[in-house]
Amino acid sequence: MAKMEVKTSLLDDMIGVGDMVLLEPLTEDSFINNLKKRFDHNEVYTYIGSVVISINPYRSLPIYTPEKVEEYRNRNFYELSPHIFALSDEAYRSLRDQDKDQCILITGESGAGKTEASKLVMSYVAAVCGKGAEVNQVKEQLLQSNPVLEAFGNAKTVRNDNSSRFGKYMDIEFDFKGDPLGGVISNYLLEKSRVVKQPRGERNFHIFYQILSGASEDFLCKLKLERDFSRYNYLGLDSAKVNGVDDAANFRTVRNAMQIVGFMDHETQSVFEVVAAVLKLGNIEFKPESRVNGLDESKIKDKNELKEICELTGIDQSVLERAFSFRTVEAKQEKVSTTLNVAQAYYARDALAKNLYSRLFSWLVTRINESIKAQTKVRKKVMGVLDIYGFEIFEDNSFEQFIINYCNEKLQQIFIELTLKEEQEEYIREGIEWTHIEYFNNAIICDLIENNQTGILAMLDEECLRPGTVTDDTFLEKLNQVCATHQHFESRMSKCSRFLNDTSLPHSCFRIQHYAGKVMYQVEGFVDKNNDLLYRDLSQAMWKASHSLIKALFPEGNPAKINLKRPPTAGSQFKASVATLMKNLQTKNPNYIRCIKPNDKKAAHIFNDALVCHQIRYLGLLENVRVRRAGYAFRQAYEPCLERYKMLCKQTWPHWRGPARAGVEVLFNELEIPEEEFSFGRSKIFIRNPRTLFKLEDLRKQRLEDLATLIEKIYRGWKCRTRFLLMKKSQIVIASWYRRYAQQKKYQKIKSSAIIVQSYIRGWKARKLLRELKHQKRCNEAATIIAAYWHGTQARRELKRLKEEARRKHAVAVIWAYWLGLKVRREYRKFFRANAGRKIYEFTLQRLMQKYFLEMKNKMPSLSPIDKNWPARPYLFLDSTHKELKRIFHLWRCKKYRDQFTDQQKLIYEEKLEASELFKDKKALYPASVGQPFQGAYLEISKNPKYKKLKDAVDEKIIIAEVVNKINRANGKATSRIFLLTKNNVLLADQKSGNIKSEVPLGDVTKVSMSSQNDGFFAVHLKEGSEAAGKGDFLLSSDHLIEMATKLYRTTLSQTKQKLNIEISDEFLVQFRQDKVCVKFIQGSQKNGSIPTCKRKNNRLLEVAVP
């Protein structure tokens, strides 16, 4: 339903029938078909009055969101579609507003969704109640108790992956405002036999698998556990893993939940140590051993498991070992010790494991109760949530199924009683006459089971306490004697069996006709499971443990508190617990959720009619509908009834001014509904037959269509009138705007004409003024020019006078200077003649040097180091200077040239220089390689996805990567290989696959041999005795021989500090495995042109023909 839609009744947009009370006709087939129709449309909830039927969808549905919580909050129960939130809200508001204690009873068979339903109820209550730090802490603790109890009390069965193997009843306590204060949990009959044995296709309790899957290795080591499930006899292996269940994540959730609930770290550790001890108990095995006196006794086969259990629990190994081998019986003042045979020892081991786990579970419940109990002592309101096992009918039904079905019989009894009681109280409250309702009362079945003298449980207890030989067969014989005439009991030996045609009932079984159908029980194990005996020796051994938790679980083991009284049986304990539960439920207002499983495959979208029919029968749902419909099928408060149907009567439509009841009376009289079809209560109208309600719904639907037509007609008229008024208003606006536009246009035309006239007048006046200004300006300019000419004449005259005066002064100065010079020359002439020769020589030499350097500046050669040009020497005396300048200039331009190089270029030139020293004038191929740059990486291994595998295998920097030809010594043919040179190794790899064929450390390379001719063949010689030399030396051919040999030489020198021997000869030896082969190079013409070829001449000679 869309968010903005408003739904005011359960009957709106109903898929099928939302309330089974309104189903017509009421038959088993129509009931199932209605459930199926709603299930197919994802409507998993249906009402029977105030009872909610919940069908497990086996998938997540978007109907539990916070928006849904708000939608159902504080709404009437029948106001919205059926939902578990509606029942939860009704129960919570009744508790909060009317101060009525509530209980929510959730029933159904295993896999029907009872546990999930209880979680939804608790989550809804937690969402709608008050807020605050303390309240939120209480809510969180209540919610987080579920994962802990599920881990220790739930298990995977053939019908349910998370089946509750115990009954749980939680009382949630609230204050007067409706805020949670705390809670109390009660548990019923944990299926502890599952600890030691599970049916095929089922698992042990979740916690065992969660520890082994989710605990860390250190934690498992502390618990003496291993992660392998197959190591433990108590864990069934055929269903150890469950699809969709993450045991490791669930273990983390459980530990976090235990921390939130309030478990201390040492308590959590103690709990897991007990679980580990239970798990390891199953690995203890016994072997028979005969004593001297002829009695059989048992011994433990492998004491290692026993030792680890004792280390975990702090028990003396000898004490526990004796407890498994001997049993002490005390009678008055005497003690008799007897040995246990192998079968009895295994029974004792399993009994200890079951008791240890069962008591641990009870301790967990008690510990959780201590954490979540209300801290205040004020009066509290209580809401109870009962999540208990459903009715169980298996192929093999034993004591556990008998007890569970007994509990369901009691719940059915109280369900019928409380439903009738609630119905009767509503009739009395509304003043409607109550008529007796016929229904099946299952009290006779409850009496058959729980009667203190003749009940099955009483006879089972009597048989367990009877001295002498007691077996399951003697118990069945007693049942046949006492219950032979009971109409709901059948066996092969009872009197009722004479009239039975069913021969499938075995002799070791009996059958009870429950309210849900007949169930056949096998008596095997009834006596042992009811006794639930644990030998006193084992109890005392557990009490002696230094482990505080285990010691607390076995208080009866204290020698100071020995009680010779036989402990109560399992049946009597459960009977007392059920009686207490029934008494508790009868003090509260009940709310029911009936859970149904649609199929046995745990799959979505599958609805098995036969399976659902079976559950409907044993849940008594048709009986519930008939009880609800025995009087009046439908009832509704006057206000919502009048609000829903008021449009059917002219007097009540659209508004009724008087009381709501009077309006309903007027409405029903107007519709002429027969008086026997309805009755008026104090606050509600009661309708007897669903047909009457559906007739009202049909009339309302037709009337709504008529009203919709009327509303549509009025709307269309309003829309047309509105459009006409809008068009009229638009016409007036348009006309006013046009008139305004026309006047503006006329005004603009007049305005532009006036502006043109004004511009002509202003232009004439401006031109006149301009002429006057120009005349005045010319007069002023003429005066200025005359004055300028006069001033210029005066200035030139003054300048001429000043120049004449300056010439005179200069002439005087020149004459005086010449006279002084003459006097100085006459005085110093004698000194000049003595030093004139030397001065002239030095001056001449200086001028020649100056001229030389100036000419050299203009004749300098280029800055290229290979340019050998140099200017000619002008004078002989400058010969040494000329040569020194040439040397200095060459060194300087070489330095300038070198400064331009990068580090990479320097490395390349160093390699080229190294190649020159190694191969110049020795190898004919060298001159062709001088002009070729050394690239190194001819294969882009890092970029080519083809070589990804090779790149991942080589983690060093690759110096050279090239495709070479490897020469086969057998036939001289070549095979392509990838040659890789790294800092430490030489590698050869397959060109196609990239797999490394050979890897040689540089330290194992001793020599490289090649010819002096123009070919690319070379041999890599390996150190004898090295691992790489097993197949012999490598004979290779490459197009870049000079570069490869140079890089190999430099890399070897860098890594080993030793020079690699480069042998250049036209004939050299190559080691192939154990043989030495001579490789000889000859000149010859080739068919392939200029390509050298290699041929095998004999076993000791390979001949390479070079063109």
Cα radius of gyration (the chain): 57
Catalytic residue, candidates 273, 297, 392, 463: 392
Task: Give the rounded distance of the alpha carbon of 512 from its chain centre.
Answer: 49
Whole-angstrom Cα distance, residue 485 to residue 297? Answer: 46
Q: Tens digits of per-residue pLDDT, 570-621?
A: 888 888 888 888 888 888 888 889 899 999 888 888 999 988 998 888 777 8
CB contact at 8 A, 656 and 646: yes
Catalytic residue, candidates 113, 153, 214, 390: 390
Paired strand residues for 413: none
Mean pLDDT of the region 1084-1096: 71
Peptide bond into 945 cis (omega under 30): no
Catalytic residue, candidates 164, 397, 679, 1046: 164
Peptide bond into 82 cis (omega under 30): no
pLDDT number for residue 1034: 87
Asked if pLDDT for residue 1016 goes beyond 50, the answer is: yes
pLDDT number for residue 250: 93
Tell me which of 625-634, 804-813, 912-921, 968-977 is least confident.
625-634
Paired strand residues for 986: 981, 1000
Catalytic residue, candidates 107, 115, 569, 679: 115
Q: Among residues 1079, 1092, 1090, which one has the least CA distance to residue 1038?
A: 1092
Q: Tens digits of per-residue pLDDT, 247-286?
A: 999 999 999 999 998 899 999 999 999 999 999 999 999 8
Per-residue b/e over 1062-1089, b at no fewer than 16 CB within 10 Å?
Answer: bebeeebebbbeeeebebebeeeeeeee
Residue of 508 and 365 predicted with greater confidence: 365
Q: Tens digits of per-residue pLDDT, 673-708?
A: 777 777 787 778 777 666 677 677 778 888 888 888
Q: Three-state SS string across 655-702, please?
A: CCCCCHHHHHHHHHHHHCCCHHHEEECCCEEEECCHHHHHHHHHHHHH
Whole-angstrom Cα distance, residue 610 to residue 602? Answer: 15
Phi, psi torsion values for 1081, nearest 5 degrees: -105, 130
Q: Tens digits of per-residue pLDDT, 134-168?
A: 777 777 888 888 899 999 999 988 878 888 888 88
Mean pLDDT of the region 288-308: 80
Q: Tens digits of per-residue pLDDT, 830-839?
A: 666 666 667 7
Residue of 708 and 504 predicted with greater confidence: 708
Asked if pLDDT for residue 3 goes beyond 50, the answer is: no
CB contact at 8 A, 979 and 1044: yes
Q: Residue 291 — very low, low, confident or very high, per pLDDT cuts 50/70/90?
A: low
pTM for this predicted structure: 0.59
pLDDT number for residue 2: 36
pLDDT number for residue 948: 78
Asked if pLDDT for residue 407 goes beyond 80, the answer is: yes
Mean pLDDT of the region 649-655: 81
pLDDT number for residue 1053: 86
| Residues belonging to the chain | 1107
Does residue 337 have an active-site annotation? Answer: no
Whole-angstrom Cα distance, residue 691 to residue 714? Answer: 34
Paired strand residues for 590: 103
Mean pLDDT of the region 426-431: 74
Of the CA atoms within 13 Å of residue 1059, those in its CB half-sphere come to: 5
Does residue 1051 have an active-site annotation? Answer: no
Token pair of 512, please? 């009870």
Q: Tens digits of per-residue pLDDT, 841-851?
A: 788 888 888 88
pLDDT number for residue 12: 61
Q: Residue 1086 — very low, low, confident or very high, per pLDDT cuts 50/70/90?
A: low
Q: Among residues 1106, 978, 970, 1085, which one has the least CA distance to residue 1036?
A: 978
Whole-angstrom Cα distance, residue 208 to residue 196? Answer: 12
Average pLDDT of the chain to the nearest whole number: 83
Q: What is the DSSP letter of 1071?
A: E
- Exposure of 58 by Cβ count < 10 A (0-12 exposed, 13-18 middle, 19+ buried)? middle
- DSSP assignment of 1033-1045 equals -EEEE-TTHHHHH
Catalytic residue, candidates 16, 18, 49, 111: 111
Tell me which of 58-72, 113-127, 212-226, 836-850 is least confident.
836-850
Catalytic residue, candidates 46, 81, 107, 110: 110
Tell me which of 101-105, 647-651, 1051-1055 is least confident.
647-651
Mean pLDDT of the region 1008-1029: 86
Does residue 717 have an active-site annotation? Answer: no
Q: Three-state SS string across 341-354, please?
A: CHHHHHHHHHHHHH
Where are the strands (E) in 363-433, listed by range?
381-387
Mean pLDDT of the region 866-884: 84
Asked if pLDDT for residue 7 goes beyond 60, the answer is: no
Task: Look at the block and give the residue holding tokens 């079905």.
Answer: 405
Tell me which of 297-311, 580-594, 896-910, 1055-1069 is least confident.
896-910
Catalytic residue, candidates 163, 250, 494, 982: 163
pLDDT number for residue 5: 38
| Beta sheet of 684-687, edge-to-edge order | 634-637, 684-687, 678-680
- Exposure of 615 by Cβ count < 10 A (0-12 exposed, 13-18 middle, 19+ buried)? buried
Token pair of 931, please? 């002009």
Does residue 115 have an active-site annotation? Answer: yes
Q: Tens digits of per-residue pLDDT, 447-464?
A: 888 888 888 888 888 888
User: pLDDT exceeding 90 applies to what percent of the chain?
Assistant: 16
Whole-angstrom Cα distance, residue 581 to residue 386? Answer: 10
Q: Among residues 740, 648, 761, which one has the least CA distance to residue 703?
A: 648
Mean pLDDT of the region 1046-1066: 87
Does residue 167 have an active-site annotation? Answer: no
pLDDT number for residue 502: 53
Helices and strands in the chain, H and E counts: 30, 31
Of the CA atoms within 13 Å of residue 355, those in its CB half-sphere come to: 22
Whole-angstrom Cα distance, residue 511 to residue 520? Answer: 4
Asked if pLDDT for residue 292 goes beyond 70, the answer is: no
Catalytic residue, candidates 46, 50, 107, 160: 160
Token pair of 171, please? 């009382």
Does residue 362 have an active-site annotation? Answer: no
Token pair of 418, please? 């409380």
Does residue 916 have an active-site annotation? Answer: no
Asked if pLDDT for residue 642 goes beyond 90, the answer is: no
Q: Tens digits of per-residue pLDDT, 974-995?
A: 888 888 888 888 888 888 888 8
Q: SS3 for 954?
A: coil
Does residue 390 have an active-site annotation? Answer: yes
